[in-house]
Amino acid sequence: MRRGNRVAKQRPHMKCAQLLLLTLTGLYFCPAIHAQAKLKQTEAQELTTDYRIWTDASGTHRTNAKLVEIDKRTVTLKTVDGDKIEVQRDQLSAIDKSYLEGVAARFQSVPKKEDYVDVGPPDPDCETCSGSGIVPRPGMRPLVHVYNRGKKKVDLDKTVYSQPIADCCPNCQAGKDPRTLNELHELAEEEALEKHKQWEKDFGQALLRVDTHYLTIRSQLSKTDTVKVARGLEKFESLMQKQLGTMAISNHRRGRDEFFLMDGKKNYQDFVRLIESRDTTRRDWKLLYETVSFSRQNIICCYQHVKTSPIVGHAIYASAVEQINRVIGFSSAPWLHCGFASYYEAAVTKQNISFMAGYRYEKGKQIPNLRNVTVDAKSWNKVIRQAAKQDKLIAWDEIFVRKPGDYEPLHDIQAKSMVAFLLRDPQKFLRLTELFQDKGPRDALSEAYEMSCDELEAAWVKWLR
């Protein structure tokens, strides 16, 4: 192994193919039995999302590297040590050749560097990226980055430059070389650092910061609990995008949208008071002091109101309500956003606990039989099906006009069931959200699902039974 290293250093002018052979032989060949077994087990498998084991045609030499460039005759690999090596394609194993055929189209579709344009810095007023120049790429693995005062950076170029975990903003950065993503991120990180320090100063205490693909979380909770919330939010976004097949409702953007997790009701009320001092246009602040969550000016805030109710569910519920309301309008009747939020809260956590928060504090009174109770998703399904069998379902027209203050548990349960039924056809559901602001619920449902609202309601009842 040392001999291989020494030869490679003495003759840097060697041909690329010979350098690869020496690298494979000297650096990665180990005669130990356990090492051979490990190599055999991981052959042709990805060790991470970007590095994989490459094998020569003889099957005796292997190296751990990622693909950087590809053309008709050669490929360029980058080893874990950062060295780049060029290899003839015909010198690779059949498995590697097959892998190259699968990714060739993707690499060939990537524009050349000279095809990109200099579009200048991001637009600070851009609604798509909130001025960062970066938007999350759909379908990527979850990102939960615990901020460490700038000592640890998020590498947006997790694979080759053609498949990062984020994209340049299609609005203000259209045509920009995606290899500059990390540069954009570093600029955004400098601004984010100053913003976080200002929040800590305004609130008068240190806050933990955790970044996801879509949000910046600032938290008083422990690192463990905060990371649980971040993972739950990432799972919600991933599930929603997979089911809907689009990011049309995934409109949160890191740097613009912030999620605050408060430790206890007093801290929550102190934070509401801080936001109230900055916003004199809203008149219902008194009501917000008795809720468990609120959203205002791209800020979402919640706290864990009972120990038996995990804050992850509240966070998912609040995030879902905020995002769909941006699409259908905040003045719309609550059945759609409440049902949508309850549906995805249950889909991620297998429980529905957020709906109880409104009943505990609505109209200044508590409902004792709902206090400290965790309700799982299966019990909701049982309740709504039992109501259907007993002909106790609430007419859709009544659900449409109900205000949040008039909601009872069955209204929430039925709203979730209605949304679950409508989501069976994701494309029509997306069409419904597009029509919702300009049309009433009956007309929007009829046009989106191509049947009358009464027929749709009858189909829902039949589906329940």
* Model confidence band, residue 128 (pLDDT cutoffs 50, 70, 90): confident
| pLDDT reported for residue 307 | 57
For 180, counting Cβ atoms within 10 Å of its Cβ (0-12 exposed, 13-18 middle, 19+ buried), the class is middle
- Tell me: pLDDT of 26 over 70: no
Mean pLDDT on 97-103: 77
Residue that is last in its domain, among 109, 126, 159? 109
Residue 350 in any domain: the answer is yes
Phi, psi at 92, each rounded to 5°: -90, 160
Residue 62, domain CATH = 2.30.30.700
The torsion angles phi and psi of 151, rounded to 5 degrees, stand at -75, -25
Q: 41-45, 95-99, 350-354: lowest mean pLDDT where?
A: 41-45
* Domain end point (choices 109, 127, 144): 109
Residue 171, Cα to own-chain centre: how many angstroms? Answer: 20
Same domain, 296 and 382: yes
> Pick from 304, 147, 148: which is nearest to 210 by CA?
147
Q: What is the mean pLDDT of residues 361-390?
A: 64
Residues 176, 89: one domain? no
Residues 104 and 45 occupy one common structural domain: yes
pLDDT of 245:
85
In a domain, residue 236? The reply is: yes
Do 222 and 258 lie in a common domain? yes
89/161 same-domain check: no
Q: Which of 282, 248, 284, 215 is nearest to 430 (CA)?
A: 248
Least reliable range by pLDDT among 155-159, 238-242, 324-328 = 155-159
Alpha helices in 245-310 (DSSP H): 265-278, 285-288
* Alpha-helix residue ranges (DSSP H) falling in 245-333: 265-278, 285-288, 311-328
- Asked if residue 124 is part of any domain, the answer here is no
Identify which has the larger pLDDT, 443 or 355: 443
- In this prediction, residues 250-268 reach a mean pLDDT of 88
Beta pairing, strands 134-136 & 145-146: unpaired
How confident is the model over 174-197, as a mean pLDDT?
Answer: 77
- What are the tokens at 402? 């109900």
Asked if 25 and 36 count as a contact pair (C-beta separation under 8 A), the reply is no
For residues 69 and 159, membership in a common domain is answered with: no
Return the DSSP state at 204. Answer: T
Can you tell me whether residue 85 is helix, strand or coil? Answer: strand
Q: What pLDDT does 256 receive?
A: 83
Its domain, for residue 291, covers 136-464
pLDDT band for position 262 (cuts 50, 70, 90): very high
Q: Report which listed range, 7-21, 145-159, 370-384, is most confident.
A: 370-384
User: 171 and 41 in one domain?
Assistant: no
**Residue 88 shares a structural domain with residue 149:** no
Residues 452 and 335 reside in one and the same domain: yes
| Amino acid making up residue 39 | L
Report yes or no: 313 and 349 within 8 Å, Cβ to Cβ. Answer: yes
User: For 212, how many CA atoms within 13 A lie in the half-sphere containing its CB?
Assistant: 27
Residue 220 DSSP symbol: S
Assigned token pair, 432: 């419904």
Q: Say whether pLDDT at 189 is over 50.
A: yes
Asked if the structure places residue 204 within a domain, the reply is yes
Highest mean pLDDT among 53-67, 81-95, 315-329: 315-329
In-domain check, residue 429:
yes
Indicate whether 141 pLDDT > 60. yes
Residues 373 and 448 in one domain: yes
Whether residues 276 and 395 share a domain: the answer is yes
The confidence score (pLDDT) of residue 413 equals 87
The Cα angle at residue 378 between residues 319 and 231, in degrees rounded to 5: 35
Domain membership of residue 197 (yes or no) is yes
Spell out the residues 6+ positions from residue 71 whose beta carbon is closer than 8 angstroms to its own.
none
204 and 55 within one domain: no
**What is residue 107's predicted lDDT score, i.e. its pLDDT?**
57
Mean pLDDT of the residues in the chain: 76
Q: Domain count of the chain?
A: 2
pLDDT digits (tens, 9 = 90+) for 376-431: 777 888 888 888 888 889 999 999 988 766 777 788 889 999 999 999 999 999 99
**pLDDT on residue 148:** 59
- Distance (Å) of CA 123 to CA 128, 129, 185, 247, 257: 10, 9, 14, 21, 17
Element (H, E) at 411: helix 409-422
pLDDT of residue 443: 94
Predicted pLDDT at 369: 40
Q: What is the 3-state secondary structure (H, E, C) of 13-78?
A: CCCHHHHHHHHHHHHCCCCCHHHHHHHHHHCCCECCCCCEEEEECCCCCEEEEEEEEECCCEEEEE
pLDDT in tens, 48-69: 346 788 888 888 888 888 887 7
How much is the pLDDT for 456?
96
The verdict on residue 115 lying in a domain is: no
Consecutive H or E run containing 228:
helix 223-244
